[in-house]
């Protein structure tokens, strides 16, 4: 049995992770971590901090779906103790991930996925394949109004993949010079030269469009997640896979071979 600790266990994503792990035959929840729900769960203990949790129980994997402001501190505790980490909290810079991975005990894995849905991973891979053939690309992401970061980690990663696929040609967003005074940013935030637009509204869970354009044609690639259960097969795949890896691994596609 894989012993799993869930940080952010009382949140929307954390609760879905708890349900998915509980239903899996090859893993078990040994504890939760949530400062707003410590001691409240019936099936397992809940601690206020990762330090308290790992002092009290033995865990093989820490799954983190907390907040961008606290995730790095959680990982800084777990990784040196040899606890593999599966991270779905976005907002971490690549340099921060690399620094955290360098602090890990030998044989320990830090796995970070901007998105855990197989459809979103395929959307990004299709965008990578299309990028060299279209001079223009835009990313539009749609999320619920309570999302803590903008743009989303998926959108940032998609833009980076588009830019990488075009290299050595540099991505250049047309039309920045047309932005009206006082409305700078109307053409979106530039991520490696690719405009990224973030929509926040009730009614969405997570959706994204990648729009490519060239002379006389457009190509639109879209993925929609309507329920958080869509992330759970990817989360379970990450939990099952990190024990055989070490160091920093980014992207669910690494485990989808």
Token readout for 22 is: 């509980």
- Cβ-contact 145, 167 below 8 angstroms: no
Q: H-helix or E-strand containing 187? A: none
CA–CA distance, 235 with 192 (Å, rounded to integer): 28
CA–CA distance, 212 with 136 (Å, rounded to integer): 6
Residue of 147, 148, 197, 223 marked active site: 147
CA–CA distance, 163 with 44 (Å, rounded to integer): 45
Q: Is 223 a catalytic residue?
A: no
- Cβ-contact 198, 98 below 8 angstroms: no
Token readout for 251 is: 């992207």
Cβ burial, residue 245 (10 Å; 0-12/13-18/19+)? middle
What is the side-by-side order of every strand in the sheet holding 136-143? 189-191, 194-200, 136-143, 206-214, 217-225
- Cβ-contact 101, 141 below 8 angstroms: no
Closest CA to 248 of 128, 62, 95: 95
Residue of 36, 40, 143, 148 marked active site: 143
- Cβ-contact 128, 165 below 8 angstroms: yes
Q: Is 143 a catalytic residue?
A: yes
Residues designated catalytic:
143, 147
């Amino acid at each position: 049995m894989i012993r799993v600790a869930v940080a952010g266990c009382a949140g929307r994503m954390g609760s879905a992770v708890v349900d998915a792990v509980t239903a899996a035959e090859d893993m078990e929840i040994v504890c939760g971590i949530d400062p707003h729900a410590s001691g409240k769960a019936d099936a397992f203990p809940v601690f206020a901090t990762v330090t308290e949790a790992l002092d009290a129980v033995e865990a093989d994997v820490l799954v983190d779906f907390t907040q961008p402001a606290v995730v790095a501190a959680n990982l800084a505790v777990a990784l040196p103790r040899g606890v593999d980490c599966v991270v779905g909290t976005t907002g971490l810079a690549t340099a921060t991930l690399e620094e955290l991975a360098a602090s890990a005990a030998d044989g320990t894995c830090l796995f970070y996925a901007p998105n855990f849905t197989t459809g979103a991973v395929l959307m990004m891979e299709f965008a990578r394949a299309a990028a060299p053939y279209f001079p223009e690309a835009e990313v539009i992401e749609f999320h619920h109004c309570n999302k803590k970061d903008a743009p989303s980690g998926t959108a940032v990663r998609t833009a980076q993949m588009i830019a990488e696929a075009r290299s050595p040609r540099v991505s250049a967003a047309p039309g920045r010079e047309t932005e009206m005074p006082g409305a700078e940013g109307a053409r979106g935030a530039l991520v490696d030269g690719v405009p990224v637009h973030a929509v926040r509204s009730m009614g969405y869970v997570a959706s994204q469009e990648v729009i490519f354009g060239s002379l006389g044609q457009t190509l639109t690639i879209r993925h929609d997640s309507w329920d958080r259960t869509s992330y759970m097969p990817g989360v379970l795949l990450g939990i099952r896979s990190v024990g055989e890896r070490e160091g920093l691994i980014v992207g669910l596609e690494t485990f989808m071979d």
